[in-house]
């Protein structure tokens, strides 16, 4: 337990001093502010363009459009940023050899995995919360009738998907040697999940739907209950990845 506390402190210091803890919330804050603004300005942008006689009529934007922009940004750029920032958290340390002096002092390897997961998950949680809170505030300011259904649940779904990715990054880092091994394997993992969505039967359970159906949840076209299989499977998969990464890392050659 002392080792866990010490290593969490180290991870937090690392996040601060490598600017990870500033960069990630800042980028997500930007997403949160940009999305409602982009939705609001969309008609003006189109009317300002010289389309050589073609007129495009854009319906008056609503709060739904603002959230559509937000989730588009978060599920695409947001996930990419998350991957880039955290993909090296374990594989980078293994490649550099910085864990050797610490582990040869008797720190358990499980502790390393758990501490890294704790801090990365905390940063992801804070970043997502900052993003959604700023988007919510700005949307309420820009649009009338800004209330939407199930916003929190929709954000929770995305959060859970991120939590699975972070656990998978740790597993990939323990499995593959080299600094970029974790990144490539995790990208492949997302690719496989996206491919699996081609089969209608898999869609209901597929974790990636947690980062795909956010707008349908808000618009009310997908019921909260319909998401439950994917939520449960993702939760189980995240726990499994974490347990597996500990088991693999115990026998990783450093």
Partner 1 sequence: MNILTLEHVKKQFGGLKVLNDLTFSVPEHSVFGFIGKNGAGKTTAMKLILGLLNASGGTITVCGEEVCFGDTKTNRYVGYLPDVPEFYGYMTPREYLRLCGEVTGMSAGRIRERSAELLELVGLEDANRRIHGFSRGMRQRLGIAQALLNEPRLLICDEPTSALDPVGRREVLGILSAVRERTTVVFSTHILADVERVCDRIGVLDGGKLTLCGELAELKNSYRRDAVRMEFDMTEAQTAALCEKLRRLPFIHRSECDGRTVTAHLSSYREDGRELLAFLADQQAAVLKYEVMEPALENLFLEAVK
Binding site for partner 1 (CB under 8 A): 2-3, 5-7, 9-10, 13-14, 17-18, 96-98, 100-110, 250-254
Q: For partner 1, which is the closer residue by CB, 38 or 247? A: 247
The rounded distance, in Å, linking the Cα atoms of 208 and 194 is: 7
Q: For the CB of residue 143, give the shortest distance to partner 1 in the complex, in Å.
A: 43
Q: For the CB of residue 167, give the shortest distance to partner 1 in the complex, in Å.
A: 20
Q: For partner 1, which is the closer residue by CB, 8 or 42? A: 8
Question: How far does Cα 166 stand from its chain's mean position?
Answer: 8
> 220-248 burial, b for 16+ CB within 10 Å, e for fewer?
eebeeeebeebbebbeebbeebbebbbeb
Q: What tokens appear for 81 in the block? A: 């940023």
Residue 31 CB-density burial (10 A; 0-12 exposed, 13-18 middle, 19+ buried)? buried
Q: For partner 1, which is the closer residue by CB, 187 or 243? A: 243
The rounded distance, in Å, linking the Cα atoms of 62 and 71 is: 15
Q: For the CB of residue 103, give the shortest distance to partner 1 in the complex, in Å.
A: 7
Q: For partner 1, which is the closer residue by CB, 177 or 250? A: 250
Q: For the CB of residue 252, give the shortest distance to partner 1 in the complex, in Å.
A: 8
Q: For the CB of residue 107, give the shortest distance to partner 1 in the complex, in Å.
A: 5
Q: For partner 1, which is the closer residue by CB, 7 or 67? A: 7
Q: For partner 1, which is the closer residue by CB, 73 or 245? A: 245
54, 127 contact by CB (below 8 A)? no
169, 182 contact by CB (below 8 A)? yes
28, 129 contact by CB (below 8 A)? no
Alpha-helical (H) ranges within 176-204 are 181-196, 200-203
Q: For partner 1, which is the closer residue by CB, 24 or 155? A: 24
Q: For the CB of residue 14, give the shortest distance to partner 1 in the complex, in Å.
A: 6
Q: For the CB of residue 11, give the shortest distance to partner 1 in the complex, in Å.
A: 10
Q: Which helix (H) or strand (E) holds 138?
A: helix 109-142
The rounded distance, in Å, linking the Cα atoms of 86 and 125 is: 14
């Amino acid at each position: 337990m002392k080792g866990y506390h010490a290593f969490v402190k180290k991870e937090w210091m690392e996040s601060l001093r490598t600017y990870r803890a500033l960069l990630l919330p800042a980028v997500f804050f930007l997403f949160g502010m940009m999305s409602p603004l982009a939705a609001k300005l969309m008609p003006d942008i189109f009317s300002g363009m010289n389309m050589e006689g073609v007129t495009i009529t854009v319906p008056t934007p609503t709060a739904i459009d603002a959230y559509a922009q937000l989730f588009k940004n978060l599920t695409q750029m947001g996930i990419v940023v998350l991957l880039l920032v955290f993909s090296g958290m374990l594989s980078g340390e293994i490649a550099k050899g910085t864990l050797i002096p610490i582990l040869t002092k008797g720190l358990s390897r499980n502790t390393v995995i758990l501490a890294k997961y704790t801090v990365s998950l905390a940063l992801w949680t804070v970043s997502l919360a900052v993003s959604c809170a700023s988007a919510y505030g700005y949307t309420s300011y820009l649009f009338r009738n800004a209330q939407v259904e199930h916003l929190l649940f929709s954000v929770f779904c995305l959060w859970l998907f991120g939590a699975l990715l972070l656990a998978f990054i740790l597993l990939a880092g323990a499995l593959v040697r080299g600094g970029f091994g974790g990144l490539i394997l995790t990208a492949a993992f997302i690719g496989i999940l996206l491919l699996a969505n081609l089969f209608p039967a898999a869609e209901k359970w597929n974790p990636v739907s947690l980062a795909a159906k956010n707008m349908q949840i808000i618009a009310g076209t997908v019921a909260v209950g319909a998401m439950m299989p994917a939520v449960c499977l993702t939760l189980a998969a995240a726990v499994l990845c974490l347990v597996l990464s500990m088991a693999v890392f115990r026998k990783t050659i450093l």
